[in-house]
Amino acid sequence: MYQLFILGQLMDHPMSGYQIRKALAVIIGSDQTISFGALYPQLDKLANAGDITLEFKTSSQQRTQKMATITPQGRKHFKEMILAPIVLNKQTQSEFQMKINFLHLLTHSQQLSVLDDFEEYLNDKLKRLRKKQAELPSNKNMIVADIKDTMRVIDLRITRIDAQLRWIKNLILELNREEE
C-alpha cells in the first residue's frame, strides 16, 4: 500500500521522505500515517528494486535531504499497482483513498474502473452491515441496551458508506462531463 503511494507521489516530481510522509497524512489522516522508521525502509526497498533513485541534496535551508525520484521502471510499476484489484483487508479503505488521489495520472476509462471497484467494495460492505442490522435485534446473547447501542454504531457506518457512494456517483458525473 505504501509503495503505491510513494510511487504515485513521485510521478509528478521528486520528493523528500518528509514531504512524502506529510502528503500521506493529508490523504489517509495523521492518525494512520507511516512513521519515518517504516517509510525510509520502503524508500530503500523501492530504490533496490530500481523503481526510484535516492540522492542527498542540500535544501534551500542548507539542510541535507534524501530526495527520491521515480525511474521509468517505477512509473511502469506504479501503473500496474494502481490498476490492480485491491486485496480486501483492514487497509482497503485507505488504499482506495490513495488510488483516488492519483486519478489525474489515469485515463478516463482507468479512472472509472478505480471508482467502479471502490463502489463495488462499498456496496458489498453496505450489504453486510444491513444484514447485521437485520439480525441484531434477535441476538439472544446481548441485552437490549447493547443491541440499541450497536444498532446506532451500525447506522453511523451505513450513513458514512451512503455518503461515500453519493460522492463516487458525483465524481463519475464530473469526470464524464470533463471527458465530453
| 153: three-class secondary structure by DSSP | helix
Contact by Cβ (8 Å): 108, 175: yes
Question: Computed over its alpha carbons, how large is the radius of gyration of the chain?
Answer: 20
Query: In this structure, what C-alpha cell is assigned to residue 90?
Result: 483492514
Note whether 127 and 166 are within 8 A (CB). no
Residues 69 and 122 in one domain: no
Give the helix, strand, coil percentages of the chain, each rounded to 5.
70, 10, 20
Name the average pLDDT for the chain: 91
- Indicate whether 132 and 162 sit together in one domain: yes
Q: Region 110-123: what's the mean pLDDT?
A: 96
Please check whether residues 135 and 68 belong to one and the same domain.
Answer: no
Looking up cell 521528486 gives: 14
80 shares its domain with 15: yes
- Taking 80 as the threshold, does the pLDDT of residue 131 lie above it? yes
Question: What per-residue confidence (pLDDT) applies to 58?
Answer: 76
The lowest-confidence range among 10-14, 37-41, 51-55, 134-138 is 37-41
> What sign does the dihedral 169-5-60-72 (CA atoms) show?
negative
Residue 78 corresponds to which amino acid? Answer: F
Q: Domain of 130?
A: 107-179
pLDDT score of 29 = 78
Other CB atoms closer than 10 Å to residue 71's CB: what's the count?
Answer: 17
142 with 150: CB under 8 angstroms?
yes
- Maximum mean pLDDT: which of 27-41, 48-62, 125-139: 125-139
- Between helices 36-48 and 17-28, what is the axis angle to 10°? 110
- Which residue in the block uniquely carries the three cell numbers 483487508? 89
* pTM of this prediction exceeds 0.75: yes
Query: Is residue 81 domain-shared with residue 132, that is, in the same domain?
Result: no
Q: How far apart are the first and last CA of the chain?
A: 33
Asked whether residue 70 falls in the same domain as residue 119, the answer is: no
In the chain, the number of structural domains is 2
Same domain, 78 and 127: no
